[in-house]
Amino acid sequence: MANDPKTKAAAQFIDALPHSRALDMRLEAIGDGAAEISMPWDERFVGDAETGVIHGGAVSALMDTCGGAAVMSHPLSTIGTATIDLRIDYMRAATPGQRIRARAEVYHVTRSVAFVRAQALDDDPDNPVAAATGAFTFAMVKKEPK
Amino acid sequence: MSRSAPEPVQVIKSRRDGALLRVVDSIAYAQFLGVKVDRRGDELTAVLPYSENLIGNPVLPALHGGAIAAFLEITAVVELTWATLWQDLEAGKLDPETMASPKMPKTIDFTVDYLRSGLPRDAYARARLNRSGRRYASVHVEAWQDNRSRLFAQATGHFLMQPQSGSDS
């Protein structure tokens, strides 16, 4: 995990989010416009009693948190962001009982928008559970005049 | 030839409310978030009562985008499942006490527009089925807090319908 003060602040901020805490999210890695956050399988997060599969909404929450974390850790970010839009493609049901890990990366920033890609994986690293793309608000640090 | 007397209103209401409850209760995550669903006839309004656990930005404070997305997705899934049950329910073919747990549609994709930050208070949502085929469905969801016309989020999602057990198609 990166050790610069901004990344540390972002990590602390994410650990303190009530909703992320309620979902037992764990920050695995953060820095340089990328983040990894995981969430346990929990029967309270199930969306379909018949199958025991985690609700898409819980995966959305994980992807959204991870995307926001990636944005906050971007080298040109002044702290703080909000989601503008988030699209999630659900490729398959997450296997019940397995931890879900989301990885997000900022692939482009403008002065006011950060564009993010994310993936969610369970124990099978070759078959993602879900993919997401999102736009987040972004406040770029003022560039030093040359 | 005489028409059979209409069912007493309480019988109809308890059958509809019972079936709706079966749908909502089968989504553990809806309980986890505290989502309730109000019904007027066949029209559903999902309610997300405010709780501190839903906060994503403690500084503003604002609701977590993930909680909002989940609330909208639950609203869409409940509406879709409700719509598939409605006909059998009204024909008296479904008894909430004995009915099999409803088959949930599977989300293919879900896109949320965050229009303004979610305030720390109750939120409401309604879903509209823009297209509902035998296999695929497209659903739009609108969510608001204080003013029905001032949406704070909206979403569009596509779903894969599951054949209900007992149905022949």
Contacts with B103 from chain A: Cβ below 8 Å: 50
Nearest CB to A49; choose among B26, B33, B71: B26
A61–B67 CB contact, under 8 Å: yes
Structure tokens of B16?
């509809």
CA–CA separation, A38 and A20 (whole Å): 10
- With CA atoms as reference, the chain B residue closest to A58 would be B70
Contacts with A18 from chain B: Cβ below 8 Å: 52-56, 58, 64
φ, ψ of residue A59 to 5 degrees: the values are -65, -40
| Residue of A95, A89, A102 lying closest to A14 (CA atoms) | A102
Average pLDDT of chain A, as a whole number: 91
Express the helix, strand and coil content of chain B in percent, nearest 5 each.
30, 30, 35
The pLDDT score that the predictor gives to residue B157 is: 97
Contacts with A61 from chain B: Cβ below 8 Å: 64-67, 69-70
The pLDDT score that the predictor gives to residue A144 is: 65
Pairing mode, strands B151-160 and B123-132: unpaired
Structure tokens of B69?
């997305």
**What are all long-range contacts of B9-15, with beta carbons under 8 Å and residues at least 24 apart?**
B14/B96, B15/B89, B15/B92, B15/B94, B15/B95, B15/B96
pLDDT in tens, A46-101: 998 888 999 999 999 999 999 999 999 999 998 789 999 999 999 999 999 999 99
The pLDDT score that the predictor gives to residue B168 is: 42
**What are all long-range contacts of A9-17, with beta carbons under 8 Å and residues at least 24 apart?**
A9/A79, A10/A69, A10/A72, A10/A73, A10/A79, A11/A69, A13/A72, A13/A79, A14/A65, A14/A68, A14/A69, A14/A72, A16/B58, A17/A65, A17/B55, A17/B56, A17/B57, A17/B58, A17/B64
- With CA atoms as reference, the chain B residue closest to A61 would be B66
> Is some CB atom of chain B closer than 8 A to the CB atom of A48?
yes
B27–A60 CB contact, under 8 Å: no
- With CA atoms as reference, the chain A residue closest to B25 would be A49
A89–B109 CB contact, under 8 Å: yes
CA–CA separation, B81 and B164 (whole Å): 10
- With CA atoms as reference, the chain A residue closest to B22 would be A49
pLDDT in tens, A8-36: 877 787 788 999 999 999 999 999 999 99
Pairing mode, strands B55-57 and B151-160: unpaired
Bigger pLDDT: B86 or A7?
B86
Residue A121's Cβ-count burial label (10 Å; 0-12, 13-18, 19+) is buried
pTM score, whole prediction: 0.92
CA–CA separation, B31 and B165 (whole Å): 25
Q: What is the mean pLDDT of each run of 10 residues along chain B (169 residues)?
A: 81 93 94 97 97 92 96 97 92 86 92 96 98 94 97 97 63
Give the position of tokens 């920033």: A109
| Residue of A33, A43, A20 lying closest to A69 (CA atoms) | A33
**Residues 3-62 in B contacting A (C-alpha not used; CB under 8 Å):** 26-29, 31-33, 52-59, 62
Is the pLDDT reported for residue A2 higher than 90?
no
CA–CA separation, B84 and B98 (whole Å): 17
How far B4 CA sits from the closest chain A CA (Å)?
38
Structure tokens of A103?
């990885």
Contacts with B113 from chain A: Cβ below 8 Å: 84-85
Beta carbons of B113 and B154 less than 8 angstroms apart: yes
Contacts with A90 from chain B: Cβ below 8 Å: 106-110
Beta carbons of B77 and B84 less than 8 angstroms apart: no
B27–A47 CB contact, under 8 Å: yes
The ipTM assigned to this model is: 0.89
A19–B62 CB contact, under 8 Å: no
